[in-house]
Structures are given as C-alpha cells and as structure tokens.
C-alpha cells in the first residue's frame, strides 16, 4: 500500500501535545505541496455520479482539541461523507443503546474482507462482525432507536450534524445515483434479515444508510468531527457534548482495528492512529487528546482509500508526533543524595 516517499519528512516524538499552531500551519502546507502532484489511484465509479469528481481536488484540515483549525487547498470543498458516516453513526448508536448491546448485535472485529463483502456475512453465520463495512454499518443504522424510518433518519442526520457543528445537507444527486445502483447493499440487508439480524424493513434501512452516506461534508468538517472524538466526545468548536467520553473511546478502538478495511493493519503499522475512509475520497484520522486530520482527494487505491489522503496522514503522523504506539524512554531519575554526601570535612 504505502509506496510513500517519506524521505526528509520531519519527525516529531510523541509528546502528548501538538506543535505550536504556526508550525502546524506550515506542516499542513508542506504536506499539500509534497503530494499535490501525485497522480496514482482512480476515482470511484461504482456509484456513477462519483466518477465525475475532478481528481485534482485536494484539501487538508487539522483541527485541534482547543478548536484551532489549520488548513490548505480545497479544505472547504463539499463531497459526500460516504463510509466515514459509519464511524459517527456507530458512536451515536453506542450512545443510544450501550457498549455491550452493540458488541453483541453487530460485533467489533475486522472481517479482513472488502467493505462490500457478502462472503464475510456468510462465513460468520450472518453476524456482521465489523461495524465499519457495509453489512455492519447497515445493521448499526437499523439499531438507532426510533418509532419510524423518518425519525431514524432525523436522528442520524441530527447526530452527524452535531459532530460537525453545523447542519449537514444531503447531496440529492449522490443519493439518487447510489439508490439506482445499490443492489449489493440491498442484497446484504436481505441476507441480514434472513439471518434474523435485522429487526426492521431491509429496504427502509438501506434507504437511511444511503442517505447518511450522501450527506456532504468538507475536509474541515471531517477534522471537526474527528476532533470531537479526540476531545472526549465534546465538539471543540461548539463546546457541545455529542457522545460520552467512553463512547468516543470505544469508537476510536473500532476505527483502529477496522477503519481502513482490510488495510487496517498496514495503516496502524505506518500511521498509528484510528481512522476512517470514504469512497468519495475523504479520510478522517484521529489523535486522542490532540485533534484530528480531515483530508479530501478523490483518487482511491484498490481497497477504496484515498491515495493522497493516506500519504498526507503518513506525513502528518510523523511530523506532528501522532503515532499512538510511539514512546520515548522516561528520563532516568537522578540518584537521591546519600546522607554521607552531606558530612562536612572536619
């Protein structure tokens, strides 16, 4: 995955604090300049409207837990959130029904298979296992408590908007384009129903799931949403609590193991922070207690992850000192003075 030239990338030790704001601005600009000319990857086309996205669009935003924003390029360009919604709907559903219920009814393990795999369901007796792939996300959306499908959609949209700190709108063209072509997701929902894993109408759940994927965000919004998970569940811009600190923690644990699909292991090895990607070209990467990166660049690799997005995160993880697994030896304490050290010469 990572044929990333990281030569000369500034390295910062993991310290628990981000660098000074002007240094973050500068590193975000450097990351943009370094990868803007990279041309690998292809824009998604299985949702027909997404194939029209200009491949050169490229925006980066870093939002810290104090609410500071550091951005460059097309950080305000709107695109559909797609699979990144799975992370935040998962958090909202955990908040609504609790840690154990989500664990029991959806699962929290990587399937090791592509995001739209049907085989993963068949291999696991209909248990979706992974809330970050389509089967698990459809099952998770279905668990949002509501008296009607309209109410469920309203709760999903309202919750995602609270993560972003603004009212998110649906891109009607993206929604319609996906609804015309999403036979595979409909089949997955029917299979979940067949296994007794869906307690509501499969077509209606796929409709809500497709709407949540068609909500538009910017790289800045993604960074704010991620920074909310980094900030114990409180949106650092609005100051509003969106989910509990425990739910934010649990969501990041699932993102660490499942967020980048079958590439999640490589991602952790190279970048070392929880993250989630979407097929329109967005990635959110979260550094607990520090902040989050939102990147947007439409060309994807074969697993459906933005190529420039991954490179930017690899760069910034090193340059900002974000890798959760990095540590430095504790300073050796100086030995306590021995009482005899104080004896004065007679």
Alpha-helical runs (H) found in 169-242? 172-181, 183-194, 202-213, 219-230
User: What DSSP string describes 34-95?
Assistant: HHTT---SB---SSGGGGGS-TT--EEEEEETTS-EEEEESTT--EE-TTHHHHHHHHHHHH
77 vs 276, which CB is nearer to ligand DON? 276
> Could you give the string, one character per residue 82-111, with x where binding to ligand DON holds by CB under 6 A and - elsewhere?
xx----------------------------
Kindly name the residue from 4, 43, 217, 261 that is annotated as catalytic: 261
Kindly name the residue from 279, 284, 307, 312 that is annotated as catalytic: 279
Residues 269-328 that bind ligand DON (CB under 6 A): 277-279, 304
102 vs 279, which CB is nearer to ligand DON? 279
Site for ligand DON (CB under 6 A): how many residues? Answer: 12
Q: How many CA atoms lie within 13 A of 261 on its CB side?
A: 22
Query: Which DSSP symbol is given to 275?
Result: E
Residues 106-165 that bind ligand DON (CB under 6 A): 115-116, 134
Q: How many CA atoms lie within 13 A of 337 on its CB side?
A: 5
| Smallest distance, ligand DON to C-beta of residue 195, A | 19
- Is residue 94 a contact partner of residue 251, using CB atoms and an 8 Å limit? yes
Residue from 130, 177, 185, 228 in contact with ligand DON (CB under 6 A): 185
Kindly name the residue from 61, 83, 177, 297 that is annotated as catalytic: 83
| Smallest distance, ligand DON to C-beta of residue 83, A | 3
Say whether 269 is catalytic: no
Backbone angles phi and psi of 134, in degrees to 5 = -60, -45
Q: Residue with CB nearest ligand DON? A: 83
> Could you give the string, one character per residue 29-68, with x where binding to ligand DON holds by CB under 6 A and - elsewhere?
----------------------------------------
Kindly name the residue from 43, 61, 209, 273 that is annotated as catalytic: 209
258 three-class SS: helix
306 three-class SS: strand
Kindly name the residue from 61, 85, 86, 287 that is annotated as catalytic: 86
88 vs 115, which CB is nearer to ligand DON? 115
| Residues facing residue 241 across a β-bridge | 234
- Element housing 25 (H / E): helix 21-35
Indicate whether 262 belongs to the interface with ligand DON (CB under 6 A): no
Say whether 261 is catalytic: yes
Q: What angle do CA 50, 51, 55 make, to 5 degrees?
A: 100
235 vs 251, which CB is nearer to ligand DON? 251
Say whether 209 is catalytic: yes
Q: How many CA atoms lie within 13 A of 305 on its CB side?
A: 26
Say whether 195 is catalytic: no
The span from the CA of 153 to the CA of 333, in Å, is 57
| Smallest distance, ligand DON to C-beta of residue 115, A | 5
| Smallest distance, ligand DON to C-beta of residue 133, A | 8
- Is residue 68 a contact partner of residue 21, using CB atoms and an 8 Å limit? yes
- Is residue 208 a contact partner of residue 153, using CB atoms and an 8 Å limit? yes
* Listed residue (284, 233, 265) closest to 82, CA to CA: 284
Indicate whether 213 belongs to the interface with ligand DON (CB under 6 A): yes
| Smallest distance, ligand DON to C-beta of residue 214, A | 8
11 vs 302, which CB is nearer to ligand DON? 302
User: What positions carry a catalytic annotation?
Assistant: 83, 86, 209, 261, 279
Q: Which residues bind ligand DON (CB under 6 A)?
A: 82-83, 115-116, 134, 178, 185, 213, 277-279, 304
């Amino acid at each position: 995955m990572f044929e990333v030239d990281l030569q000369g990338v500034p390295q910062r030790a993991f310290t628990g604090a981000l660098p000074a704001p002007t240094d973050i601005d500068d590193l975000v600009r450097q990351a943009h300049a370094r990868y803007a000319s990279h041309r690998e990857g292809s824009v998604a086309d299985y949702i027909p409207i997404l194939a029209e996205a200009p491949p050169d669009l490229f925006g980066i935003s870093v939002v810290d837990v104090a609410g500071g924003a550091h951005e460059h390029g097309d950080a305000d360009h709107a695109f559909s959130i797609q699979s990144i919604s799975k992370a935040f709907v998962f958090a909202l559903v955990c908040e609504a029904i609790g840690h154990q219920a989500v664990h029991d009814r959806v699962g929290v393990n990587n399937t090791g298979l592509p995001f739209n795999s049907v085989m993963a369901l068949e291999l696991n007796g209909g248990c979706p296992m992974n809330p970050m792939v389509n089967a698990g996300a459809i099952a998770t959306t279905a668990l949002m408590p509501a008296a009607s499908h309209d109410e469920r959609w309203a709760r999903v949209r309202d919750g995602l908007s609270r993560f972003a700190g603004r009212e998110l709108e649906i891109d009607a063209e993206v929604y319609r384009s996906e609804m015309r072509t999403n036979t595979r997701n409909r089949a997955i929902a029917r299979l979940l129903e067949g296994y007794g894993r869906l307690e509501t109408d499969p077509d209606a759940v796929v409709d809500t799931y497709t709407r949540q994927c068609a909500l538009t965000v910017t790289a800045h919004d993604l960074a704010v949403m991620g920074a909310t998970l980094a900030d114990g569940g409180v949106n650092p811009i609005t100051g509003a609590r969106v989910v509990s600190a425990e739910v934010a923690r649990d969501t990041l644990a699932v993102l660490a193991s499942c967020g980048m699909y079958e590439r999640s292991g490589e991602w952790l090895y190279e970048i070392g922070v929880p993250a989630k990607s979407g097929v329109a070209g967005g990635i959110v990467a979260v550094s607990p207690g520090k902040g989050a990166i939102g990147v947007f660049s439409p060309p994807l690799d074969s697993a459906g992850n933005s190529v420039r997005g991954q490179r930017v995160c690899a760069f910034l993880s090193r340059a900002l000192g974000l890798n959760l697994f990095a540590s430095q030896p504790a300073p050796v304490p100086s030995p306590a003075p021995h009482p005899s050290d104080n004896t004065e010469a007679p």
